[in-house]
A and B are shown apart, each in its own frame.
Chain A
């Protein structure tokens, strides 16, 4: 029975990976025209998926660093598991990035022709280093040699990448709805919330399906994580609401038109209600918070909401065409993803889950950690 379940699970994930391979084939033979993109909507679901996965990975870096950087030792037992999850999520982010870029092979020019004035260059370099550091950290933990320095480095790089992403989006002065100082705080905060959601979801569900019973220590730890998750959702919600008020209600500048428009979009409502309000209520109720399904529901809803938020956030800076691009266009353009765009996050999620599943089966993610 266990064998059939495993085969079915791998079969489903393989289908997702296959969808990604098909998308890659279409993109590299036909061009990015297979996506619902125009010269107005230049960044859509593939990039939103990248932002979602990369920030979740930064959030996991914060969670994995809790025992080392903040000295809260009871988080130690899930450190190795979280690092492995972080690697899987980061690889998923890279899958989205490759399917987003028009000429990914030219990325060699990041090294041959660097531009340190560009936030994108820093981000590319940092993510490259990040993956190497993560794999090294995991390998050292796996061989029972724990490095405090590497742990601290993972935390610092998590801060650097999530804040750098704020600089990247806040860079264009022509799109003031993307406020750089705001985003450099909002991104790490939402990253932390996403990281906690991912740990909570994978940890509680993983144990539900794979273990017979959860140890009392572990159950208390996930209870702690759920509490922290609830607090972080509340703070993130405040940021989200204030951004909606300042950018969408009180701002009068023309350039905020796209942002105001997106406040009435489906993605905004999904983010607000499914992503913030419902999980916050679930985590506020102790009777729900202490159950596996309660944690899993709140975490899944938050992650779905965050995905919608990342997409809505990107579109808010683009739906109002500017300059000559507005010729012959309505005041706001609409966006509906093509099937190939939907395949991008689907395949990235499949790659992530496949890697994590293989890690769960063949590596000891509960391995001993020498402090």
Chain B
């Protein structure tokens, strides 16, 4: 069985956020939930300032604290290494959010995508109401609803349960790449089987110095970061006092 992992090449990543947008579309994510997210940091003081951008998602840890802590096995590991969530078994205790050291699990505090049920037009007599718009394109949950998400998980997760990145398991099952990988215009996300020595992820992890987030916690994350973009250079010097 394959053991899936992702390599994020920080030299290629331009921080455009296409991964986050693609993820929201593919997985029908509601407002405030970002399975594919980022950590940004500004370092230094003017005129020597630098902006860092680090894309984040569920790390699908081998020793996942969210899985160990879940009382009903709603959060569980698939044989291919993906950390998956079953909303039917979820009691909404949020212990997984508390246990996750990466801050990548979200909770549905209220009904998702509820604004699309609104009957009132934004501009009366001019625009359609969200509900009308949805009906015009076929009556799904909302106009850009992706029914393929239902193949392995609730299409839209109900209020009172958690949700997180699944490495697009519904696509992977069909031999397709996760949608964030597909959508990345810079090919900064590389996905594959860690157990296959000839896979691209194995090649990149072996060839480049890689790091994972909070490795000291022993969670064995399956998201690896390589390289770092820098357009700057400096004249060789030993400094001075």
Which of chain B's residues have a CB closer than 8 A to the CB of A173?
A: 65, 101, 217-218
- On whether the beta carbons of B92 and A106 are closer than 8 Å, the reply is yes
A43 interface residue, CB < 8 Å from B? Answer: yes
Which residue from A30, A31, A118, A324 sits with its C-beta under 8 Å from B69? Answer: A118
- On whether the beta carbons of B65 and A172 are closer than 8 Å, the reply is yes
Identify the closest chain B residue to A40 (Cβ): B103
A102 interface residue, CB < 8 Å from B? Answer: yes
B70 interface residue, CB < 8 Å from A? Answer: yes
Shortest CB-to-CB span from B207 to chain A, Å, is: 27
Flag A40-64 by CB within 8 Å of B: 1 or 0 each. Answer: 0011000000000000000000000
- On whether the beta carbons of A174 and B65 are closer than 8 Å, the reply is yes
**Complex formed: what's the CA distance from A104 to B32 in Å?**
24
Which parts of B58-112 form the interface with A (CB within 8 Å)?
65, 68-74, 88-95, 97-104, 106-111
Which residue from B32, B37, B65, B92 sits with its C-beta under 8 Å from A103? Answer: B92
Shortest CB-to-CB span from A124 to chain B, Å, is: 6
Instruction: Knowing A31-B160, A43-B98, A110-B71, say if A323 contacts B56 (CB, 8 Å).
Output: yes
B159 interface residue, CB < 8 Å from A? Answer: yes
Which residue from A30, A109, A119 sits with its C-beta under 8 Å from B91? Answer: A109
- On whether the beta carbons of B97 and A121 are closer than 8 Å, the reply is no
- On whether the beta carbons of A120 and B101 are closer than 8 Å, the reply is no
Instruction: Knowing A115-B71, A174-B214, A324-B56, say if A106 contacts B106 (CB, 8 Å).
Output: no
B34 interface residue, CB < 8 Å from A? Answer: yes
- On whether the beta carbons of A102 and B39 are closer than 8 Å, the reply is no
**Complex formed: what's the CA distance from A324 to B36 in Å?**
10
A325 interface residue, CB < 8 Å from B? Answer: yes
B40 interface residue, CB < 8 Å from A? Answer: yes
Which of chain B's residues have a CB closer than 8 A to the CB of A33?
A: 109-110
Flag B14-55 by CB within 8 Å of A: 1 or 0 each. Answer: 000000000000000000101001111000000000000000
**Complex formed: what's the CA distance from A215 to B84 in Å?**
63
- On whether the beta carbons of B94 and A102 are closer than 8 Å, the reply is yes
Instruction: Knowing A172-B65, A172-B101, say if A327 contacts B108 (CB, 8 Å).
Output: no
Which parts of A205-223 form the interface with B (CB within 8 Å)?
none
- On whether the beta carbons of A172 and B34 are closer than 8 Å, the reply is no
Which residue from B91, B101, B106, B213 sits with its C-beta under 8 Å from A107? Answer: B91
Interface size class of B (residues with CB under 8 A): 35 or more
- On whether the beta carbons of A39 and B107 are closer than 8 Å, the reply is yes
Shortest CB-to-CB span from A329 to chain B, Å, is: 11
B180 interface residue, CB < 8 Å from A? Answer: no
B156 interface residue, CB < 8 Å from A? Answer: no
Which of chain A's residues have a CB closer than 8 A to the CB of B161?
A: 102-103
Flag B170-197 by CB within 8 Å of A: 1 or 0 each. Answer: 0000000000000000000000000000
Which residue from B32, B71, B107, B218 sits with its C-beta under 8 Å from A118? Answer: B71
**Complex formed: what's the CA distance from A30 to B65 in Å?**
30
Flag A91-105 by CB within 8 Å of B: 1 or 0 each. Answer: 000000000111110
Identify the closest chain A residue to B95 (Cβ): A120
Which of chain B's residues have a CB closer than 8 A to the CB of A113?
A: 72-74, 89
- On whether the beta carbons of A102 and B160 are closer than 8 Å, the reply is yes
- On whether the beta carbons of B90 and A103 are closer than 8 Å, the reply is yes
Which of chain B's residues have a CB closer than 8 A to the CB of A37?
A: 107, 109
- On whether the beta carbons of A175 and B98 are closer than 8 Å, the reply is yes
Which of chain B's residues have a CB closer than 8 A to the CB of A115?
A: 68, 70-73
The interface centre, meaning the residue of A168, A321, A327 with most chain B CB atoms within 10 A of its CB, is A327
- On whether the beta carbons of A117 and B103 are closer than 8 Å, the reply is no
Shortest CB-to-CB span from B2 to chain A, Å, is: 25
Which of chain B's residues have a CB closer than 8 A to the CB of A322?
A: 101-103
A227 interface residue, CB < 8 Å from B? Answer: no
- On whether the beta carbons of A119 and B65 are closer than 8 Å, the reply is no
**Complex formed: what's the CA distance from A126 to B89 in Å?**
20
Which of chain B's residues have a CB closer than 8 A to the CB of A112?
A: 72
**Complex formed: what's the CA distance from A184 to B193 in Å?**
41
**Complex formed: what's the CA distance from A64 to B37 in Å?**
52
A171 interface residue, CB < 8 Å from B? Answer: yes
**Complex formed: what's the CA distance from A121 to B98 in Å?**
15
- On whether the beta carbons of B93 and A101 are closer than 8 Å, the reply is yes
Shortest CB-to-CB span from A178 to chain B, Å, is: 9
**Complex formed: what's the CA distance from A37 to B71 in Å?**
22
- On whether the beta carbons of B72 and A321 are closer than 8 Å, the reply is no
Which of chain B's residues have a CB closer than 8 A to the CB of A102?
A: 90-94, 107-108, 159-161
Q: Given A39-B32, A106-B89, A325-B103, list of 19 further CB < 8 A pairs?
A: A30-B110, A33-B109, A37-B109, A102-B94, A102-B108, A102-B161, A103-B160, A103-B161, A107-B72, A110-B72, A115-B73, A118-B70, A173-B218, A174-B217, A322-B101, A322-B102, A323-B39, A323-B104, A324-B102
Identify the 6 closest CB pairs spanning chains A and B, nearest first: A102-B92, A174-B101, A102-B160, A323-B103, A31-B110, A109-B72
